[in-house]
A and B are shown apart, each in its own frame.
Chain A
Amino acid sequence: MRQASATAHRPLTAWLHRQHGPVNGVVTFDRRHLYILPTRSGAGFGVLLVAMLLTSLNYNISLGFALTFLLAGIGMACMWMAYRNLLELAVSTGAASPAFVGDVAVFALNVDNADPAARIGLEARTPQSEVATLTLDGDSRGTLALRVPATARGRLKLPRVTFSSRFPFGLFRVWSYADLSLVAFVYPAPEPNAPPLPQVARPDDAEDGTLSVASDDGIDQLRRYRTGDPLHRIAWKHSARTGRMLSRTGSTPRLPGCWIDWDALPPGMDTEARLSRLCAWVLAAGDEIEIGLRLPGVALPPAQGAAHRRACLEALAVWPERRAS
């Protein structure tokens, strides 16, 4: 008996869980992929209707029958309204924002309502994320942000998203799945209280210890402040020491080859711990310092700026893969 039910169950679950991938990047909830079941509240409503029916039957209350059956009819209509609330909704992928391990990655989904009727109370969730809700007017589009916790370094694929709605009375839940291909990078968690950036951290700057020192370093590269020098070029520390306003010269920091190197770390260190520290250093470098990243099999030549930093972080995220494409 159990076996029979199990075999009968399998095709059903298989059918329920079959892929509903995008066509031209868009997942549309057509009637083949919409499922509907009564909710607990819906079951309660059913019980209520039965109670009303029994009362009407017992006392032969014509008006009672009318009320009961009208409510039953409206319940039927609910089913259709619930269904219609998701039907033909088109979902496409938006941006995926990266996250560090332990944070949440945010996946943006564009939801397109080509229907003149509004879509009320759409809910989207993945098994791990909390529910994101959206209400769309007729002929409009909106964005849903799904916050998925990033638990492991690497590429975080957007899991299957369940779209559901309990409109209008919460009696029925209509749902559908969307298997969208959207990937967010999960960077290693930056090591807390990491040692200062290597090479840049000089003993004479130990008072500060960290990167702000690095960005301020190199007296031979200093010159007198000229009006028009940007604020971040002013060498505040030296200015304070010497009593003259000094600016740093050149478009790059003085240390061009600040390599953040895997092999420079103590040999006994565990892989993830290494990556965490490297990550902390990449972040510590900020926009000011030119850094290069060297991992076994991967080398990113020194550069600076947001794009470069992201490339470094992605390389850390996917290592030992070669390239974060």
Chain B
Amino acid sequence: MLMGQLALVLAPQARSLPVSVSLLLLVLLAWRWLLWRQRAPLPSKLMLGVSAVLVLVTAAALVWQSGGSLGRELCVALLGAFVILKLLETRALSDATLVTQLSFYLLLTLYLADQPFWLAIYSMAIGAWILRNWLLLHHPEARGRLAIWPLLGRMALIGLPWALFLFVLFPRLDHPLWRLPQSEPVGRTGISDTMKPGSVGELIRSPEVAFRADIVGDPLPASALYWRALVLWNYDGVAWRPAEGSMRPMRPANGLRDEGDDPPLPAGVRAYNVTLEPNQQAWLYLLDRGLAVSGSLDARVSADDEFFTRAPVDRPLRYRGHSTLAGTPQPLSRRTLALSLALPEGNPRSRELAGSWMAQYPDPWRRVQAALRLFAGAPFAYTLSPPPLGKQQVDSFLFDTRRGFCEHYASSFVFLMRAAGVPARAVMGYQGGEYNPLGRHYIIRQSDAHAWAEVWIAGRGWVRVDPTSAVAPSRVEEGVDAALSGDEAEALRALRGPAWLRDLRLGLDGLTYTWQRWVLQYDRAQQGRLLQKLGMDGQLPALLAGGLATLSLVALLPLWLRQRRLDPLQALYARFCALLARHGCARGASEGPADFALRAAEALPGAATALQAFTRDYIALRYGTPDAAGRLQAMARMRKALMLVRRQVR
């Protein structure tokens, strides 16, 4: 029983553990299972010691391998191994209890990596099973006598108010108390900060969700959904990279109150919420052009309106953003100007073309138009599998292959513009997104990754230009599937599964989104908002104490109700005694009702008849065997007599 329990608890752990560690745990468990199967005696202390040392040595080797840091996953694995070892020497009830209790902790560690919906269901089911086993462990005799599942259900129901209350109101921390390094910084997903041919293209095949967003107010047209993240300045002939940190100073981002009522927004400014999937990257996605994000993030913003978090995003992150869709004219500093015109050597044919535009069009915007016209022209095509480029990449693309993906177009466009004397830069982010009508939010997938450009036009500031939209307008309007032709689109669609799955998928997605939003994202900020809504801002301790007191009282209620269920005859007699006691005639502990009545009649002669009558009936009912009707009549008589006594003793 305990073995199965441990196996089930540890199984999902394999998601985040190295294979070798998972295997070790499996071997330990299998060992225990074999012993049980063959009813063999448990291993000796020596054997256990040797295994423990073996486990420790393995752990040490792994620590050494990972460069001397004891990772979170490894800690969990160690704990798991020692719980199994404990199981290997479990003889007494207390050992089994310890293993059971530790199972709960192991269950908790499952959530360290991530907390998807299915895991919640899974762990709750396992938890219930552990509880059942725990009960049977202590009370094997309960099997068959007791409906265990209903009992556990009832306990859960009793516990639920406490759980809910504590979940909502228990104070959360802003910053962790300690941090165990994660053993590997892998698992970075999404766009990277380097753009070169093929870097976006490889994301296109992934249907994984990058983030979800719900936009306050009317839906936006797809052509406005540019989720901007990084600005790339430096080109080395192959790849585009961000400018060095010192070139683009950071400042704290404008903080927003997280959720709730926005003040009326100026025209052209939109508010939205983004729930970012963990991607181990430190930048945020905002609609082009971001103005501010949630203050609780403590984010920073660069001079190019890129938003950064303090630490890589390692758990789902929800934030609010404000963006202006109108664009703001900004002056161009001398330093930025130099940066936005810098080009590496090479690509003579492209330079020549750009030079001719510069001579032909004195207006920079006309040069932009010329480039877009070039891409819209015949031989340029949008494809997932572009032919390889030559050494002079821009030349090779513009004059030879002419088939490429968004990064090819963005890259060569910015090159042409800089060569033509127009300040330009490349931008990475996502474009578009699938609208989920069920959750009323956008799902932005890795396949929506995109690269585009920005040019600086005097009087207008930095203007977004998407060269891809010139060659394949449907990419922007309808997404990648629509922009690709024939086989490629088919292949992509096959990757996403048949169409009838779509609704189901969207439904599930809505569930996930709600789950993330209301359960996983519940943190200090949300707690604060909730309290604000309740009008209890800053009264958390009082609320917590008050609530716990109330719950305790409610918990005692059943006791009260039980007390009230006293036999009515007894209750009536108790009232009788209490009444006489108030008038100076308390019944002795060993005094029978008849003796008491005699004494009371002497002490309170005014009520003598009535209290004698009351007592007669009481004795008859208590010690006789009256039928139901007689009983009722006698009770009624007693009530009247009691009232009479009350009046007479006054």
Contact = CB atoms under 8 A, between A and B. Distances in A.
Interface in A204-257: none
A274 to B, nearest CB: 41
Contacts of A51: 105
Contacts of B135: 168-169
Interface stretch (A68-76, A102-110, A150-158, A174-182): A68-76
A74 B160 CA distance: 8
B159 A67 contact: no
Interface string A40-80: 01001100100110111111111111111111111111101
30 contacts: A31-B563, A41-B97, A44-B97, A44-B101, A52-B104, A56-B108, A60-B172, A62-B521, A63-B119, A63-B123, A65-B166, A66-B163, A66-B519, A70-B159, A72-B162, A74-B155, A74-B158, A77-B154, A77-B155, A77-B158, A77-B159, A81-B155, A121-B139, A121-B142, A135-B142, A166-B138, A168-B142, A168-B151, A169-B134, A169-B135
Contact of B138 (A45, A55, A87, A121): A121
Given A65-B170, A77-B159, A118-B145, A58 B104 contact: no
A167 B115 contact: no
A70 B155 CA distance: 10
A67 B154 contact: no
Contacts of A22: none
B177 interface: yes
Contacts of B162: 69, 72-73, 76
Given A45-B101, A77-B159, A135 B520 contact: no
A88 B163 CA distance: 29
A69 B142 CA distance: 26
A170 interface: yes
A63 B120 contact: yes
B131 interface: yes
A272 interface: no
A74 B158 CA distance: 7
Given A62-B519, A62-B522, A63-B111, A73 B134 contact: no
Identify the 9 closest CB pairs spanning chains A and B, nearest first: A73-B159, A73-B162, A77-B158, A77-B155, A69-B163, A69-B166, A73-B163, A74-B159, A70-B163
Given A31-B559, A55-B105, 15 more contacts: A48-B102, A62-B519, A62-B522, A63-B111, A63-B120, A66-B163, A72-B166, A73-B163, A77-B154, A81-B151, A118-B145, A120-B146, A121-B139, A169-B138, A170-B97
A144 to B, nearest CB: 14
Contacts of A54: 177
B500 interface: no
Interface of B: 93-94, 97-98, 101-102, 104-105, 107-109, 111-112, 115, 119-120, 123-124, 127, 131, 134-135, 138-139, 141-142, 145-146, 151, 154-156, 158-164, 166-167, 170, 172-173, 176-178, 315, 519-523, 555, 558-559, 562-563
A73 B160 contact: yes
A57 B167 CA distance: 11
Interface string A158-173: 0000000011111000
B621 to A, nearest CB: 15
Contact of A76 (B159, B523, B559): B159
Nearest to B316: A62
B176 A58 contact: yes
Contacts of B170: 65, 69
A135 B141 CA distance: 7
* Most A C-beta atoms less than 10 A away, residue of B119, B134, B155: B155
Nearest to B145: A118
Contacts of B93: 170
SS class of chain A's interface: helix, strand, loop or mixed?
helix
Contact of A167 (B97, B139, B521, B562): B139
Contacts of A68: 108
B163 A62 contact: no
Contact of B104 (A66, A71, A87): A71
B126 to A, nearest CB: 10
Contacts of A135: 139, 141-142, 145
Contact of A66 (B145, B167, B178, B523): B167
A303 to B, nearest CB: 39
Given A121-B141, A168-B151, A73 B111 contact: no
B108 A57 contact: no
A63 B518 CA distance: 11
A168 B120 CA distance: 25
A66 B155 CA distance: 16
Given A63-B520, A118-B146, A121-B138, A69 B158 contact: no
B177 A72 contact: no
A67 B127 contact: yes
* Most B C-beta atoms less than 10 A away, residue of A52, A55, A64, A74: A74
Nearest to A51: B105
A174 to B, nearest CB: 13
Nearest to A41: B97
Nearest to B519: A62
A257 B522 CA distance: 95
A77 B594 CA distance: 45
Contacts of B142: 118, 120-121, 135, 167-168
Contacts of B108: 52, 55-56, 61, 64, 67-68
Contacts of A69: 162-164, 166-167, 170
A62 B114 CA distance: 10
Contacts of B127: 67, 70-71
A80 B155 CA distance: 9
Nearest to B107: A67
B138 A88 contact: no
A74 B104 contact: no
